[in-house]
Amino acid sequence: MKRIFLALIALSCLGAKAQDKVKQIDSLFTSLHSKGRLNGNVLIAEKGNVIYKKSFGLRDEANKLPLDENSVFELASVSKQFTAMGIVILQEKGKLKYEDKLSKFIPELSFYGDITVRQLLNHTSGLPDYMDLMEANWDRTKIATNKDIIAQLVQYKPELLFTPGAKYEYSNTGYALLASIIQKASGTTFADFLEKNIFVPLKMDNSFVYSRRLAPRDIKNYAYGYVPDDNGKMTLPDNLLNYNMVIALDGIVGDGNVNSTVIDLLKWDRALYTDKLVSKKSIEAIFTPPTDIVSNYGFGWEVEKLKDFGKIIIHDGSWPGYITYIERHIDDDKTIVILCNNSTADVPIGTVRKLLYNIPIKIKRQEIKLTEQEMLSFVGEYSLAEGIAMQITYDNGLKAQLPGQKKFDIFAENKTKFFFKITDAQVEFFRDEKGAVSKMVLYQGDRETHAPKIK
C-alpha cells in the first residue's frame, strides 16, 4: 500500500526522475511517427555516447526503401555552420580576415560599400534575401548557381535593409556569398574545400555538398525529401508546379546543400570540442555573438543561455522536403540531432530537453462534464494488488481513495478516463461485453496497473 500511495501522492515531485527517459523519448518520437508527424532519423548523445538512435519511415517512397542510421539528408540551413567553419579555416590559414570587405573577393559588389566578412557570418550585413530577388526575376526553367545570385545583385542593385553592422537580420544571401568567398580565397570549389578541410579530416564519410537537380549522381542511401500534394499525399517537390523555384535554386550553395547523416553530425559535434579543425580560440569566436547589437548568432550557430539547460548551441533548417535540427548542450555535453525528409515533420525540442534533464512534463488536461448517472457507473472497489484496493465513490463528483488515506477528486477527461489534479496520474475504466464496468487501469508515468473490479 505504501508504494502505491507514494506513487499517487509524490509522483508530481518525482516526475521524470522515476521514469526511463530513453523509453519516454522513444515513446514521444514513435507517437509522432504513428500520427504522420515524423519521418526521419533521430540521434541523441550524452558526452558523445549515443543513448538514443532510431529511424522512422522511408527514404524512398517510390521503392519503399527504409531509412537507416546512414541515410543521407539535405541539411538545409544546418549547412551554414560548415560554411562558417570554412571561413574560419581560411582565416587561420591567413587567406582572409574577418574584417576584410566583401568587395575584396567579389569586386562586382563594391557598390554595397563596407560590408565585412564578419558581418556576413553574423547576419548583420543588411543584404536583402536573394530568394525574393530570384523569385521576381529568374527564369525558372534554368538552375541558378552562386554566380547567378551575384549577377542578379549587380543587375538590380537591391538596397540594403539597414546600415551594415547596425542590427541582426537572418540572411541566406550572406551565406551564399560566403561560399563564393571561400572559392575565391582558396582557389578551389566550395564542395572540394569542405571535403578536404572538414569532411575527410573528421572521417565524415557520408557528408558532401550536393545539388541533386543541377548535378545528379548515384548516392547510396539517399533520403529523398517529400512534401504533401493538394490531396495530402507525399510527393517530391519536383512533381508540383508551385515548387518550381526549389528546382531553380538547386545550384546555390553556402546557405544550404550540405548533405550528411546523424552519425556524421555526431562526429562533427565531437570535433567542435577539440582543435582538430581550428584552434580553441577560433572555436570560441564561432560561438560568440556580436556584443554591440541585440543578437544571439555567432558564426553559423545560434547561441543561447537557458535557465534549466545552460549554454546551448543550435541551428535548424527547413527547405521543401526537409526539416533538420542540431543542438549542442555545452555545459552538460548533450547532443540532439533530428533529420527529417518530410515537410510535415514536427521537432518537439522542448519536450526532448525536459526528458533529457528529468524535468517533469506537465500535460494540460481538459476536464469535461459527465452526468451523475454516468459517474455512478464507475463507483466500486478495484484491486490494485493483493490486499490493496482503491475505492471509487461519488459525492458531487468522483473520488478515489486508498485504505487509510484521504479521498482525492478525479476529473473526467473523456467518457471513461479520469485524471488527478494533485499529481500526474490517471485512471481509466473498462466495460465487459454486457456494458458493465469490469476493471480500472491506473496510469503512472510509463507504468500501468490493472485493477479488476471486485465490488
Q: How many CB atoms lie within 10 A of CB 229?
A: 13
CATH value at residue 133: 3.40.710.10
> Does the pLDDT of residue 6 top 70, yes or no?
no
- pLDDT value, residue 445: 60
Please tell me whether residues 261 and 376 are part of one structural domain. Answer: no
Residue 341, domain member (yes or no): yes
Give the active site residue among 12, 34, 71, 77: 77
The reply to whether 323 and 221 lie within a common domain is yes
Assess whether 291 and 437 both reside in one domain. no
- In the annotation, is 180 catalytic? no
29, part of any domain: no
- Residues 235 and 301 reside in one and the same domain: yes
**C-alpha dist (Å) from residue 53 to 43, 143, 275, 284, 338:** 4, 36, 27, 29, 10
Could you list the residue range(s) of the whole structural domain that residue 132 is in?
59-63+70-345
In a domain, 278, yes or no: yes
At 106-126, the pLDDT tens digits run 999 999 989 999 999 999 999
Domain boundary, last residue among 345, 362, 386: 345
Q: Examine the fold and report which residue of 327, 345, 363 is the final residue of a domain before the chain moves on.
A: 345
Residues 320 and 410 in one domain: no
41 domain residue, yes or no = no
User: Do residues 416 and 335 share a domain?
Assistant: no
Q: How far apart are CA 400 and CA 88, in angstroms?
A: 63
Q: Specify whether 184 is located in the same domain as 134.
A: yes
Based on the fold, state whether residues 124 and 253 are members of the same structural domain. yes
pLDDT, tens only, 315-369? 999 999 999 999 999 999 999 999 999 988 888 898 999 999 988 776 678 889 9
Does residue 250 sit in helix, strand or coil?
coil
Nearest by Cα to 54 from 67, 64, 65: 67
Q: Is residue 445 domain-shared with residue 391, that is, in the same domain?
A: yes
Domain end point (choices 345, 362, 388)? 345
Identify the residue with better confidence: 366 or 77: 77
* 5: pLDDT strictly greater than 50: no
Q: Which amino acid is at 16?
A: A
Please name every residue paired with 314 in a beta bridge, in sequence order, or none if there are none: 302, 327
Q: Tally the C-alpha atoms within 13 A of residue 116's C-alpha that lie toward its C-beta.
A: 12
Query: Is 439 inside a domain boundary?
Result: yes
Helices of type H across 213-256: 244-248
Residue 428 to residues 386, 387, 389, 420, 425, Cα–Cα distance (Å): 20, 21, 15, 12, 10
Q: What percent of the chain has pLDDT over 90?
A: 77
Tell me 325's DSSP state.
E
Domain assignment present for residue 360? The answer is no
Cell of 289: 555573438
- Name the domain count of the chain: 2
- Grid cell digits, residue 186: 582558396
Q: For residue 392, what pLDDT is reported?
A: 94
Q: List the CATH number of the domain containing 433.
A: 2.40.128.50
Q: Are 327 and 393 part of one and the same domain?
A: no
Whole-model pTM: value is 0.79
Q: Which helix (H) or strand (E) holds 91?
A: helix 80-92
- CA-derived radius of gyration, the chain: 28
CB 123 within 8 A of CB 293: no
How far is C-alpha 251 from the chain's CA centre? Answer: 25
Q: Does a structural domain hold residue 124?
A: yes
pLDDT digits (tens, 9 = 90+) for 392-446: 999 989 999 887 777 889 999 999 999 887 777 889 999 988 889 999 998 876 5
Statement to judge: residues 407 and 333 lie in one domain: no
Give the H or E element holding residue 26.
helix 21-34
pLDDT of 15 > 50? The answer is no
CB atoms within 10 A of CB 107: 9
Contact 311, 330 (CB under 8 A): yes
Same domain for 327 and 430, yes or no, is: no
Residue 413 lies in a domain: yes
Residue 91 has pLDDT above 70, yes or no: yes
Cα 73 vs. chain centroid, distance in angstroms?
Answer: 14
